[in-house]
A and B are shown apart, each in its own frame.
Chain A
């Protein structure tokens, strides 16, 4: 499987190359970046449904079960994440071609963007704890810089807050890794899981606590969510879409799920804690989102709430729960990116993000209005859009596992989300035109293309739950997480 390291090497190479050639020529940067993301997307599509493969860097194949080097693991879960990341990044780069004309230094923007993609791909593929930390830092540092890319007051302030909390999170994670190393003498996830074997002592639980708080900070689960409502709205719209759509999921939820389920083992206590965290995020996120006047802040709070669903499903630990959670993860990536791109288009056209100044935009911006309506209906869980199916199956999974309380909360939050998004639609796109709707600029073509593409995906994505698609895409990913410590058996070949 020679293709595996290229998932990281191609975006890295492009990121190093673009600032050298593209400083004077923004169109060249557009072209190179779009080619790179397109190539990554095609590569990700080409590995769907493949058997799990392990790639040992530098040819250090383990002898006598001792892994010497770093390994990359391409199993169902990694493939799932790679497809999600590359799908969103492809559509976002198409959008950025014309949106980012409003900013200077396009070459640096694209370089940082590709570094972020490379970091996320690295996190999704790696089978080594410390390597996970390194690539997590690449993605995080690139995102800190991208949040502050506009260099205005609130952007700098939001980025500083994000950076400080993000570094605290990274340090907690590194501490957790150090404790794990001190107990096992290894950094290879598979070897650690065979050494610990699911037998968690108090010190391991301490490491788990460090991991949950560290990755919880990165994923903005509720007690740790303070940075997200500042950071996500401040970034340029394509970056907001990437951050809410895939970054918090890859370096937060995916990494947490991988370490806790596959490496350390899920005990009933940990499972309960994760589910409670998910439920709190769900409820608090949607309540805070109701009162927002800034369209992007509104979407950011709703991200917290929707991520809560994913965490709840993963915390259940059953096959149906995990599969439904992953289904919701990719759905949320699609519709939240779409909604953030819509808000960017609205800001581009009207120059404001304040909902009180908008109104009646549907006639002025038909494409944005229509795609935003589709995105809102999908996130609110109206059939037949994709969001309905994933929420339904998360609730069913809760019922199946006899967690009726959690199921009730999930259903209730879904109703609140519907109310919140209908209100958003009414204030922004329907109703009487207000001052900002008067002078409206045209939304450029590349932005429309990517919004329409995402809106179509919102409708089509529901088909992923059909038996055929489910068997090739979702179930292999869910199986990896659900089988837990069996992870070691196919990585080390024992």
Chain B
């Protein structure tokens, strides 16, 4: 009974169908939180964990095979690195002389002071939010998959 936390084949069709619908809403909500993180509560971390939750929901209701087909662990690992690298590159770009000359300069906002309360008003904050969301979402998905399904994976092989 206890090993049913992650069933290989997933739960009943009703649960699957409902969560397929809900998953889309969660994803959209997460992306909204990320993009408007500099204006409303949220941001890269809040949005990233919400996006990760959509994948977790899929894993729980559809089983690990389905989830790993959509998001293989290798790809998730690569995206983890890509998110971290992207944030570092955003920071390093600020180091180049034309864009301010210091690590982590908010070069977009300084080059073009936008009007407040707009999507693009935060300069690099928006880009950083997206990079962090990518990083956090894949990281949490990996943590969940590794720690929750580890035993299932090992057991399958035995």
Seen from chain A, the residues whose Cβ lies within 8 Å of a Cβ on chain B are: 2, 5, 9, 12-13, 16-17, 19-20, 55-59
Tell me if A59 and B101 are in contact (CB < 8 A).
yes
Interface residue? B72 (CB, 8 A): no
Total A-B contacts with CB atoms under 8 angstroms apart: 39
List the B side residues contacting A2 at CB < 8 Å: 95, 101
Query: A-facing mask of B84-121, CB < 8 A → 1, else 0?
Result: 11001001101100001111111000000000000000
B104 near A13 with CB under 8 A, answer no
List, sorted by A's number, 16 A–B pairs whose CB atoms are closer than 8 Å: A5-B95, A5-B103, A13-B88, A13-B92, A16-B85, A16-B88, A17-B81, A20-B78, A20-B81, A55-B103, A56-B102, A57-B103, A58-B103, A58-B104, A58-B105, A58-B106
Closest 7 CB pairs of A and B: A5-B103, A58-B104, A59-B102, A16-B84, A16-B85, A20-B81, A57-B104
A9 in contact with B92 (CB, 8 Å): yes
The reply to whether B100 and A59 form a contact with Cβ atoms under 8 Å apart is yes
Instruction: Tell whether A57 pairs with B102 under 8 Å between CB atoms, given A9-B91, A9-B92, A19-B77.
Output: yes
Closest chain A residue, CB of each to CB of B74: A23
Task: Chain B residues near A16: list those with CB within 8 A.
Answer: 81, 84-85, 88
The minimal Cβ–Cβ distance linking A128 to chain B, given in whole angstroms, is: 13
B139 CB → nearest A CB, Å: 12
Whether B103 pairs with A9 at a CB distance below 8 angstroms is yes
Q: List 10 additional contacts besides A9-B88, A19-B81, A20-B82; criterion CB under 8 Å.
A: A5-B103, A9-B91, A13-B88, A13-B92, A16-B84, A17-B85, A19-B77, A57-B103, A59-B101, A59-B102
Give the CA-CA distance A310 to B84 in the complex, in Å.
37
CA distance A20 to B104 in the complex (A): 24
Closest to B96 in A: A2
Contacts of B94 in A (CB 8 A): 58
Alpha-carbon distance A69/B19, docked complex (angstroms): 43
How far is it, in angstroms, between the C-alpha of A12 and the C-alpha of B102 when the chains are bound?
17
- B residues 60-78 in Cβ contact with A at 8 Å: 77-78
| A12, B95: Cβ atoms closer than 8 Å | no
Determine the distance from Cα of A291 to Cα of B78 in the docked complex, in whole angstroms. 48
Cβ contact within 8 Å between B88 and A58:
no
Residue of B nearest to A12 (CB): B88
Q: CA of A261 to CA of B102 in the docked complex: distance in angstroms?
A: 29
Measured between beta carbons, the chain B residues less than 8 angstroms from A13 are 85, 88, 92
Chain B residue with minimal CB distance to A15?
Answer: B84
B84 to A59, Cβ gap below 8 A? no
